[in-house]
Structure 1
């Protein structure tokens, strides 16, 4: 599969698992989730029913370990501290891999240090700031916030776009690619919409003004 969603060797399996979870957790039909993510139903069933490889099995166990350490910290550990804990337990894993797994799980540390901003000033006029710089919400799906993070890997830079519910602080959608552009933002929004069952009318989406997402 091509495009921002599902890139990388583990991407198809992750996307297939995400589509399956929407049926279980939110009663979203597989056909609806497949259309939203731009994949065919035959592609989904192929990857859903595929037996896990040793690498995928290791990733599943690592994902469980990341969640355990995060929960044990009371939700305060970010990827560097979780990485330290896991390496002490014998895991050979990088902080970047843990950061990606945390994004997959929707885990955001409460005391997370802000990374270097990636926003580039766009040429178009800024859209109205509907959240008034107040990054909280009184209920789920009132306001979402977009973020873009640069991840350095051995093969080069990757960019992770996320959509976060400002009420729960949970990640509703994400997309990763090697280009820092609006396509990643749109892919992350599509996943967030599927997570919420497709009906997101009236939700405010805020992103910093920049050329990759000139809207809020």
Structure 2
């Protein structure tokens, strides 16, 4: 305990020995146990070095007992290695993804109300199973009218999935005026933090924004959209193929949701009707 920097007076009181006895012990020659520990330390250090620093206590113990015929217990090997600061390789290193600073800020702060189109877009990915496998869908939604301005469907949730949906929203303004400064808000998924998505957004004059990790309320509007789509389409039947489900999603987004579905927050108008009525009113 004293060797591990505990106060001698406290250590002696804990183990029930006198301080004078402790200091008298220091004057004596090393015991057989101390000599053996020193010898084991040198031997274990050598075995550990020969393993290129990869062996833990179990493999060091196996090398000592099976390879070198040393009678030693596993607990003693573990103790000596701990005191010598030796440990084995513990699996693959865990690399942390660097979060780009320019999209880490939440510019929305749960306020999705906007007075005109192309001021705030929200985006996210959902998935659903078929007998062939999963289908992934990314949607870009304009919070002004709840209109789906971009979407993409694929068999895997890659950066291309979200970039294609964003590209559709940018390249096809659907008769609306696309101005710079539109905020594109997402969660902190790896797809939205990818270089391809970020570069496409910046090159088009969009301003990336991200909510906090694991908080659905930071992107609640698109979460609500997915919930309605789940009830009204995805969970209503068992889908056989990816193509069948992809066609159904296309019909839901472009034909039903944008053109026909009446939304309570839009005065019971569809997104396209709402935009047209606002344009006529302003004119």
Greater length-normalized contact order (CA 8 Å, ≥ 6 residues apart) = 1
Whichever of the two has the greater Rg, that structure is: 2
Query: Does the alignment reach a TM-score above 0.5?
Result: no
Q: TM-score, normalised by structure 1?
A: 0.41
Q: Which structure shows the higher helix fraction?
A: 2
